[in-house]
């Protein structure tokens, strides 16, 4: 009976991955690609420091979803162990995930902090919302995250018993750092900082209409404040379940096969939900910002789709018209 029950849980995990995890991963990849495309296509976004952070957050999420998450979803659905095919795949994937995870999370925090400075009353603080500072911060973030990820490249060298598509460490000290340092500390500290500054930025944005700001700048600040605040809420709601289950799985010392099968199924479900924490940006922005919907329509339809249609003469489009509507 126990073996039948374990086989049933494994079958449920495989079918869930096939019909839910893989489509969710594919949809998330499309989301980050479209976000990156829109941010790169409009000069208004390229020259704004907050959207610059969001653009790199989408880039890091896209790299992670393409190079790691997609293979995890496939391995859960078809019981394929890519690590046995490529000897260094486990370590390389761990390095990419650690780099992109931390970088994307810091970018999310910096975007909302930047928006707080941009909407602040004091002109001195507004100067911290600067595209040059954003460029330097991105270099620093990438270097710090890469150095941090070297630890994962070295120590994550085994497969998890509850999820063969996930690597674990044989070093107990590093395992404790991964659980208590990354999932509990980083995974909660950065979102807490982001929520705090998000609420402050939202309060500042509500008073923008009473200030003598340019209309274009004021509307852009309101748009970006709403986008980053909702992005933070989605991240917290979708990543927290996976963080809890992964922490329990990492700290679990019970080798009972039934318990491990249950944890494996729970890990697959929460991992799929966490895909949305790194692949929701385009859909979130579309839902919460009417201005972003117009900008997305302008980029996707006017700039790209219409240009691909043969034998049509398109009128000249001025980019800032789409940005100021």
CATH number of the domain bearing residue 39: 1.20.1070.10
CA 209 to chain centre: 31
Are residues 139 and 146 in contact, defined by beta-carbon separation less than 8 angstroms? no
Q: Higher model confidence: residue 63 or residue 204? A: 63
Give me the pLDDT at residue 203, please: 83
Range of the domain at 158: 1-304
Phi, psi angles (nearest 5°) of residue 256:
-65, 125
Mean pLDDT across the chain: 81
| pTM of the predicted model as reported, rounded to 2 decimal places | 0.84
pLDDT digits (tens, 9 = 90+) for 263-322: 888 888 998 998 888 888 999 999 998 889 999 999 988 888 777 666 555 555 544 554
Q: Provide the 3-class DSSP secondary structure of residue 325.
A: coil
Give me the pLDDT at residue 250, please: 73
322 domain-assigned: no
Nearest of 29, 210, 187, 188 to residue 119 by alpha carbon? 210
Residue 255 has pLDDT above 90, yes or no: no
Is the Cα torsion angle 246, 183, 159, 270 positive or negative in sign?
positive
Percent of the chain with pLDDT over 70: 84
Phi, psi angles (nearest 5°) of residue 310:
-80, 160
164 domain-assigned: yes
317 domain-assigned: no
Residue 289 token pair:
């910002």
Are residues 319 and 42 in contact, defined by beta-carbon separation less than 8 angstroms? yes
Q: For residues 187 and 164, give the distance between their C-alpha atoms in angstroms, rounded to a whole number.
A: 23
Q: Provide the number of structural domains found in the chain.
A: 1
67 domain-assigned: yes
99 domain-assigned: yes
10 domain-assigned: yes
Q: For residues 176 and 170, give the distance between their C-alpha atoms in angstroms, rounded to a whole number.
A: 11
β-partners of residue 156 are 169
Q: Higher model confidence: residue 303 or residue 23? A: 23
Give me the pLDDT at residue 81, please: 58
pLDDT digits (tens, 9 = 90+) for 112-149: 999 888 888 888 888 888 899 999 999 999 999 999 88
Residue 230 token pair:
């909702």
Give me the pLDDT at residue 209, please: 57
Q: What confidence category does residue 151 fall into, taking pLDDT thresholds of 50, 70 and 90? A: confident
316 domain-assigned: no
Helices (H), 156-289: 172-176, 187-206, 215-251, 257-278, 281-288
202 domain-assigned: yes
| CB-count exposure of residue 168 (10 Å: 0-12, 13-18, 19+) | buried
């Amino acid at each position: 009976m126990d073996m039948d029950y374990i086989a049933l849980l494994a079958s449920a995990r495989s079918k869930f991955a096939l019909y839910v995890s893989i489509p969710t991963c594919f949809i998330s990849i499309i989301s980050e690609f479209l976000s990156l495309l829109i941010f790169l296509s409009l000069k208004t976004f390229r020259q704004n420091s907050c959207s610059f952070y969001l653009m790199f957050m989408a880039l890091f999420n896209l790299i992670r979803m393409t190079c790691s998450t997609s293979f995890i979803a496939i391995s859960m659905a078809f019981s394929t162990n890519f690590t046995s095919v490529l000897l260094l795949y486990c370590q390389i994937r761990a390095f990419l995930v650690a780099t992109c995870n931390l970088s994307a999370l810091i970018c999310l925090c910096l975007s909302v902090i930047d928006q707080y400075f941009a909407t602040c009353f004091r002109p001195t603080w507004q100067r911290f919302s600067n595209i040059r500072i954003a460029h330097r911060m991105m270099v620093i973030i990438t270097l710090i995250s890469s150095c941090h990820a070297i630890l994962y490249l070295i120590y994550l060298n085994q497969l998890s018993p509850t999820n063969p598509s996930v690597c674990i460490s044989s070093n107990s000290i590093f395992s404790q750092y991964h659980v208590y340092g990354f999932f509990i500390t980083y995974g909660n500290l950065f979102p807490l900082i982001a929520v705090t500054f998000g609420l402050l930025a939202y309060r500042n944005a509500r008073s923008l209409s009473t200030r003598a700001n340019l209309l274009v700048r004021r509307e852009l600040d309101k748009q970006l404040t709403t986008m980053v605040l909702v992005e933070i809420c989605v991240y917290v709601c979708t990543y927290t379940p996976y963080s809890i289950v992964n922490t329990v799985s990492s700290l679990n010392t019970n080798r009972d096969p039934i318990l491990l099968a249950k944890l494996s199924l729970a890990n697959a479900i929460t991992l799929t939900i966490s895909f949305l924490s790194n692949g929701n940006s385009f859909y979130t922005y579309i839902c919460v910002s009417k201005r972003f919907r117009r900008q997305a329509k302008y980029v996707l339809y006017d700039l790209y789709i219409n240009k691909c249609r043969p034998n049509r003469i398109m009128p000249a489009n001025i980019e800032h018209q789409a940005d100021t509507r």
